[in-house]
Structure formats: C-alpha cells, structure tokens
Chains A and B, each alone.
Chain A
Amino acid sequence: MTLSLLGKLGGGLVLAEAQGGFWMPPKASTFAEGVDGLFDFILILSIVFFVGLMALMVYFAVKYRRTHVEQKTSPLKHSFKLEFLWSAIPTVLLLVIFAWGQRDFILMNAVPDSALDVRVTGQKWSWSIGYPSLGKECQNKLVVPLGEPVKLTISSVDVLHSFWIPAFRLKRDALPNKYTGYWFEATQTGDFPLYCAEYCGTDHSVMTGRVQVLDAEAWKAWVASDDCAGLDPTAADYGEKLFVKYGCNACHSVEGVRLVGPPLNGIYGKPETMQDGSQVTVDDNYLREAILDPNASIVQGFAPAMPTFQGRLTDQELNGIIDYIKQLGGDAAPANP
C-alpha cells in the first residue's frame, strides 16, 4: 500500500513538473509569470534565511552543548551592530517584496478597454458564466480565447463564493451585494480547473468547473457552435436545460436521490408534508411558490437552504421548469425520510 502510494506521489510530482512547477500549477495567464517570480523570490529568500538560521542553530547547539557542570558561558548580552543589521536587512528585503507585489497588484486591477465581457454568477453550488456579447451562457465552464484580454464581472445570488482559477493565479470573492471581478489574458491553450474558494456550505467542495482556453480558430468555432447557446423555448428539452442552467440539479435529483433538496421526480400531484406539519398537494401554484419564495414553506426534513429565484426567472422560464417537473415520471420518491 505504501509502495503504491509512493508511486502515486511520484507520479504526481512528475505530472506537476510536466505541466507546471514543483510548487505551482501550469502558468496559463499573463499574470502567472509575475506571481511565480515573486513566489520564487520569497521562496529563495526564505530558504536562505531558514537554512542559514538552522545551520547556526545546530552548530551552536552542538558546539556549545553542556559537557560539564562548570562550563563557562559567554557574557555577551547584546550587540547594537548585530541588532541593527538584523533589523535593517529584513526591512529592506520586506520592502522589496511589498513593492513587487504592489506593482503587479495594480496591473491586475487595470482592465484594458477592449476586454471580452464575461459575467460570472455564483450560486449554491454552481457557477453560471454568461457572455452578453455572444448570447451564450455556460454552467461551470469558462471558455476563453487565447491571447485576448477577458474581463470577468463576478457576483453571487446568495452567500459568498470565490472564483479561483489556479492556472491563471487569479481569485476574487463573489459578493451578493456588489460586483467584483478581474481580467486576464490566457497564454496557453488547454483545460484547467476552477474552484469555489470561499466556503459556502454543504457542497462547497463540488462547486468546481473547468476553464477551456481555445486558440483563435477553435474559439471562432465555439462561438458559432450551439454549445452554451441561448435556449429555444419551443424545444422539447427547454425545461430540462433550464434545470441545469439555473443550477437546480446541484440540489435536486430527478432520479429519486435525496441531495440537499428533495428529489423532484414524481412529486407532482402527490401530497407533501411541510415542516409545520401541514399537508400540501403539489400543483402548479405550489411549485411556483416553492421556486419563487422557497422559504415560505419548507418541506419536512430539509433545511431552508434554497435561494429564491424571484427576479431571476422570466415567466416563460418558470413555466418551462414547472412543465419539466410535471412531466418527470418515475415512482413517487419518498421526499419525506
């Protein structure tokens, strides 16, 4: 078992070496160079100081170990020169680190005008990524062109989240009351992970996704394709797509599995017990209320964890979703455990 583990670990190292460094993931944005440079600078500085200090410590500890009771000790109590040096040298080095970080930080915040506009919306527990200029909206997938500036405008509909793309070395919190954001220029095509980095509850650890960097040609093809395209309200799977688009599937299974929210298959027309003990029959109005004002009545055995979709769904979309829930077949799953 240990052997296989060491193998895995070694594999991990080699893999990391191939795609990125020993410490860092692959560099895929223009900022990565600067961040890694500063990281390496502090790392080298730290190693120098750490190794130096430890070497001294071990040397002293061994050289001056106590060998007999009356061992003489040095009368040294302080030395202004030394103390000045070891205050001044770190101060200067720290100022360098500060200045370096500060310079790049300002650059990170200076968005070029021509940047492609992308809206990132966090919700428990999925990311919705919209392209206003392309009429596209993706779930948990950010697709960007290589070598073009892209600007993300980040917000949240419920609690705090944080949009982290390690390969780009970028991260910013998603707030419910304010837009935040950052910009970048991808420098390497490929497929990279993205994570929610601010704790947001039950499924924080699966609020992840992928970033795809496409070269000019692939980007053009993607823009023209119907991947992440706007939905056609007349299509048969309109409701189903909406169900994914709005992240309902993060909390609701349609196969009778109890996730954070109750499974939604086979509930239509059946009675449900609410937290206060009342019985409700699931009909269109109930569904409408459950989606627009979820905390008005809570299904027994569940936490009031569902965000409201008031103001986020058009009537057409709401009807689409309700139609979809209505036609979800299957055995009536026990919503109440």
Chain B
Amino acid sequence: MSSTTIDGTAPDHGAPHEEVDYIRAKKGIKSWLFTVDHKRIGLMYLAAVSLFFLFAGVLAIIVRLELLTPMMDFLADGDAPEAAAKARDVYNQVFTLHGAAMVFLFIIPSIPATLGNFFLPLMVGAKDVAFPKLNLASFYIYVIGACFLLYAILTTGLDTGWTFYTPYSIETGTAVMASTMGAFILGFSSILTGLNFIVTIHKMRAPGMTWTRMPLFLWAIYSTSVIQILATPVLAITLLLLFFERAFGVGIFDPAMGGDPVLYQHFFWFYSHPAVYIMILPGFGVISEIICVHSKKHIFGYKAIALSSLAIAIISFLVWGHHMFVSGQSEFAGVLFSFLTFAVAVPTAIKVFSWIATLYGGAITFNTPMMYGLIFLFTFTIGGLTGLFLGALTVDVHLHDSYFVVAHFHYVMMGGTVIAFLGALHHWWPKMFGKMYNEKAGILGSLLVFVGFNLTFFPQFMLGSRGMPRRYASYDAEFEGLHALSTYGSWILALGLTWTAVYLIASFWTGKKAAANPWGAASLEWATQSPPIEHNFHETPHVDADPYNFKEIDRSQAAAGHH
C-alpha cells in the first residue's frame, strides 16, 4: 500500500512535527461562534444535542415516574379530582415535549450534524464541507428553531403529541404556532445540512476515492441527506399550513371548515416516515465502521450495504400509510402500504445479516465501541422485527396506538440510533478531542445502558399487546407490574447515561493522549493527527485502496512497535 496515508503514529508526510490542532488553532469565544470550520461546528452541535438529549431524557424520567402507579400521583398535588385533571394536562405536555424534543432537537441532528459534520470532510479527504458558511448558518438556524420550541415550552407548552394531529392541534390552547414555527425552522437547518453533505460527497472526494472506496458511513450519510432534502420540504409546508390553519383558519385540515384531518396525516407521515430513516441510516453507517474497525475485518458485502441504504432511502417514501391503517383511509390504501412496508424491511435485513457475517473470522476487540456495536445488533434487531408486527394489517389494527408501538420505536430510535451514537462517540472520541476515554468505565457504562434499556422498554411490548393504550396518564391496575418494571429500568438507564457523560467529560482532563490512529483503522480521518489540524490534512490525501483494508496497517503498526 502506498499513500493511503494511514499510519499508527503521527502523519509522516511533510510535517514530522505536530502542528497545532483545530481546537487550539484559534482562541476566544468568538473564534467558536463565528467559525466556519466543520469540526468546530460539529462540536457546537454536539454540545447542543447533548443538552437537548439530557432535557428530553429528564422529561422521559418524569413520564416514567408518573406511570409508576396507575393513579395520577407524581404530577398531581393531592388526591382531589381537580388535581388529577390538572396533572393529566401536565402529563400530556410532558410526553409531547419529550417526543418533540427527542425527535426534532435531538435525534434528527444527532449523528449527521455532529459526527457527520466533523467526519464527513475528513473521511472524503477534503478541507471542509462544500459550503462552510452555509454550514454555520444551518447551526444558527437550528438554534433559532430551538428557541421557538423553548419559547413554546416556557409559555403555554404544547400538548398535541409530537404528531400535531388536527383538529386537536387547531383547537388546543397551547403554543402550537410557536412550536410549528420552531419545527419548520429546524427543518430548514436539516435541509441545508443535507444539501451541504450531498454536494461535498459529490464534488470534494479526494483524488482516487471512487464511490466504492467511500467508507460506508459516507454512504449512509449520503442516503440520509437525500431523504432530508426530499422529505423535509414537505414537512415544512405541512407545518406552515398548520401554522396558517391556526392563524387564519385556512380550513384544509379542519373538518369544521370542510377540510380533512386524514389529509393532514398523509402530509405528516409523508415526511415523518422517511424521517425515521433519517434517524436510523446514520446509525447503520456508524455500525458498519465500528464493526469493521474493531474486528479488523473487511466489511461483508460492501456493495449490498451501500446500495441497500439507497434502496431504503427511496422505498421509505412509499410506506407512510402504515401509520394510518385505522385512520379511515381506504382499505386498498391499507393493503398497498402494508405491502410496501414489508418491501422496505428487506434491505434492512440484508444489512443486519452482513454485519453479523462481518464478525466471522475477525479479530474482535471488546472495547466500548464494539460493545455498543453488539448491543445495537441486539436491540435494533428486536426493534426492527417488532416493526413487522406493526406492518401486518390485522395485527396493527390491534396494536396501533398501544405501548407496543412505543416499545417498537424506542427499540429502533433509542436502541438503534442512540446506541449507535454512543458507540460512534467512543469510536471517534480520540480523534475529536485527542484524548482516550477510560475503557473500563466505558464497558461498565455500556452494560448499564444495555440492561436499563431492555428493562425499560421490553415490558412495554407486553403492555401494548395486552391492551395498554399509549399517551395515557393513568391506567388500569392490571398493568401496574409491567409499568413499574419499566420505570425501574429507566432509572438504571439514566444512571448508565449519566455515568457515560461523566467519564467522557472527565477524559478531557484525565484521559491519556490519543495517537493518530489508536484503533488501526484505514479510513482517511485516521490519517491525520488527533485532534486534526485546522485544515484537516497537511496535504490532500490520495486514496488507492478501500477503507476496510486492514492488513497492511496491522503490519505497519507492528513494525512501528506500536500497540
């Protein structure tokens, strides 16, 4: 192997000395707020989404505390009936904000905007994204959108569910207008980020990096971006129409005026189903990287994984009606959407099989990223398989809007995306900050998260199929045991996540200095020092092998006596 410029030590091209890294390159708060460096913007996103994750997570804990017992108690002050009615209102706001914040503020920007921003240019071997100023603008648009949502929270709150179904969202007294404006603006941030990534991948790949030499993470981000630019505009217009609905009573979604609430649902899910793949595809990309790098194995079925991402991106636009089997859409539509739903499961199945096959014959290290990789395979598979129950028409008639659905989407979103996000954070932590986190602490954290997560959400499958509706503040006594288990689980989960946050942050001070390529990976982000210099590479790298070619590296590492 010649100049794939990967090395176990510092880069040996041009500059033998370490150049000052991007964090120390400039000083002062302004150098962050006005930066156009994709790495710094990525970190600013990371700070923001972590905060919102914490915030939405705390709301989730409140939800769980209220659901510990069948009665209204945690949120109610006293046993009086008036207190219960009030507490139900509060509960409705809490779960709505939990869902809306998790979806719009946390999970959609989570992997793409933080790690995508940081690593996409590095992985294609570019100095920055195609439009650095636009990138910074996306961040501020995100912040403005978030402010709208915060404004909504601080004034009258929001109690529509994250889906904003009409006509309830038209008549409720809460801050629907501010919230839809917020989500509308956040949508633009997401569109612009997607646009930036697409152009970067098309036009800024380093010499020699053909499409099939791109790391799979890039394929995933690329597919995600395609969905972002195709689906998000429709969400934007939907929310705008809802906004005008509240402001002027336009009537298209309002049955009292002659409009149709089912039309709203079509509009909403046309975006929001593809959006679930916006959430999961980057996670898929992360898992491909983690599994290969930490088992030192070439990915199994590169092309199948890359193309299945694109297939998912396209088919995902045709299945939105599976959220509406009982909404009063036509019987034919139900049958059609059910069929297409199963079609979209096949490319995902291919990925899962390929990851497991990748492990075959590898050299697997049980470090924290790999732990999260394996946990992902466990939890996401459960989440995906339970999607099949929901896609089956008659079974969904029973399960729709029950806790089974709640469990399904937490298994794919929390058990899929968030787990992948955690794995990715550990995988790339040394590169981002130039520090190693504490490996033992990491393993412990991942185990806590694993146990807590399953304890929280597995009982919810049983709750749902046995007849517990979602969005219920109080419930029948027969469900108490399972709900209590779920609440206990959420405590372990919260403990695991807090622990993770603590040792990761602690690594800034106590972590060992990270080498340029601590895992012996072969993609370009490891070809520069840790943390990278401001312009990423000393020299535009040249690529002549694919990113999962680990053999040579191992040898060169061994030769350098490095391990």
| B-binding residues in A (CB < 8 A) | 5, 8-12, 15-16, 20, 22-25, 31, 34-35, 38-39, 42-43, 45-46, 49-50, 53-54, 56-57, 60-61, 64-66, 69-79, 82-83, 86-87, 90-91, 94-95, 97-98, 100-102, 104-106, 108-109, 158-160, 162, 164, 166-167, 169-173, 175-178, 180, 193, 195-206, 208, 253, 257-260, 303-305
Contacts and interface: CB of A to CB of B under 8 A. Distances in A.
B480 A23 contact: no
Given A42-B395, A78-B303, A69 B563 contact: yes
Contacts of A76: 298, 300, 357, 360-361
Given A64-B361, A87-B346, A97 B392 contact: yes
Interface string B164-195: 01011001110000000000000000000000
A51 to B, nearest CB: 10
11 contacts: A20-B466, A23-B462, A86-B349, A86-B350, A97-B392, A98-B391, A101-B392, A105-B394, A166-B467, A203-B85, A253-B81
B331 A105 contact: yes
Given A56-B359, A57-B377, A166-B466, 18 more contacts: A25-B466, A49-B385, A64-B364, A66-B295, A66-B363, A73-B363, A94-B342, A105-B331, A108-B397, A109-B331, A164-B401, A171-B397, A171-B400, A173-B326, A199-B160, A199-B168, A205-B88, A206-B474
Closest 10 pairs between A and B when the two form their complex, measured CB to CB: A74-B361, A166-B467, A9-B481, A177-B255, A101-B392, A101-B393, A205-B472, A60-B359, A105-B393, A71-B363
A35 B465 CA distance: 11
Given A23-B465, A64-B361, A204 B472 contact: yes
Contact of B478 (A15, A202, A204): A15
A44 B81 CA distance: 45
B338 A8 contact: no
Interface in B104-123: none
B298 A104 contact: no
A184 to B, nearest CB: 11
B381 A53 contact: yes
Interface string B256-282: 100111100000000000000000000
B290 to A, nearest CB: 13
Contact of A69 (B357, B398, B554): B554
A196 B401 CA distance: 10
A21 to B, nearest CB: 9
B301 interface: yes
Contact of A73 (B296, B343, B386): B296
Contact of A305 (B173, B343, B345, B485): B173
A73 B92 contact: no
Contacts of B80: 257
B342 A95 contact: yes
Contact of A61 (B81, B354, B359): B359
A20 B352 CA distance: 34
B335 A102 contact: yes
B301 A78 contact: yes
Interface residues of B, number: 105
Contact of A175 (B261, B374, B396): B261
Nearest to A66: B363
Contacts of A172: 326, 328, 397
Nearest to B388: A42
B73 interface: no
A196 B471 CA distance: 10
A31 to B, nearest CB: 7
A87 B350 contact: yes
B159 interface: yes
B249 to A, nearest CB: 13
B401 A198 contact: yes
Contact of A201 (B172, B260, B389, B466): B172
B361 A12 contact: no
B137 interface: no
Contacts of B366: 61, 65
Contacts of B397: 35, 105, 108, 169-172
B184 to A, nearest CB: 22
Interface of B: 80-82, 85, 88-89, 91-92, 159-161, 165, 167-168, 171-173, 255-256, 259-262, 295-304, 326-328, 331, 334-335, 338-339, 342-343, 345-346, 349-350, 352-354, 356-357, 359-366, 374, 377-378, 381-382, 385-386, 388-389, 391-398, 400-402, 462, 465-467, 469-476, 478-482, 484-485, 550-551, 554, 557-558, 563
Contacts of B331: 105-106, 109
B395 A175 contact: no
B467 A159 contact: no
A100 B470 CA distance: 26
B359 A46 contact: no
A24 B480 CA distance: 16
Nearest to A9: B481
B329 to A, nearest CB: 10
B183 to A, nearest CB: 18
A70 B85 contact: no
A71 B349 CA distance: 30
B92 A201 contact: yes
B558 to A, nearest CB: 6
A64 B362 contact: yes
A160 B165 contact: yes
Contacts of A167: 467
A9 B386 CA distance: 23
B167 A257 contact: no
B476 A193 contact: yes
A8 B365 CA distance: 42
A108 B331 CA distance: 10
A100 B80 CA distance: 49
Contacts of B478: 12, 15-16
B200 to A, nearest CB: 27
Nearest to A337: B82
Nearest to B169: A159
A186 B226 CA distance: 49
A201 B159 contact: yes
A201 B168 contact: yes
Contacts of B357: 76, 82
Given A54-B378, A160-B167, A199-B161, A60 B82 contact: no
B381 A50 contact: yes
A98 B338 contact: yes
Nearest to B392: A101
Given A70-B558, A159-B168, A201-B159, A180 B401 contact: no
A205 B471 contact: yes
Nearest to A13: B481
A178 B328 contact: yes
Given A64-B362, A90-B349, A164-B469, A38 B394 contact: yes
Contacts of A50: 381-382, 385
A264 B154 CA distance: 32
A10 B485 CA distance: 12
Contacts of B256: 176
Contacts of B334: 105
B482 A177 contact: no
A180 B261 CA distance: 13
Contact of A57 (B328, B346, B374, B473): B374
A61 B364 contact: yes
A195 B172 contact: no
Contacts of B356: 53, 56-57, 60
A202 B346 contact: no
A128 B91 CA distance: 26
Contacts of A90: 345-346, 349
Contacts of A61: 359, 364, 366, 374
Most chain A beta-carbon contacts within 10 A, residue among B353, B392, B396, B480: B392
Contacts of A200: 168
B172 to A, nearest CB: 7
B332 to A, nearest CB: 10
A16 B551 CA distance: 56
Contact of A101 (B92, B394, B462): B394
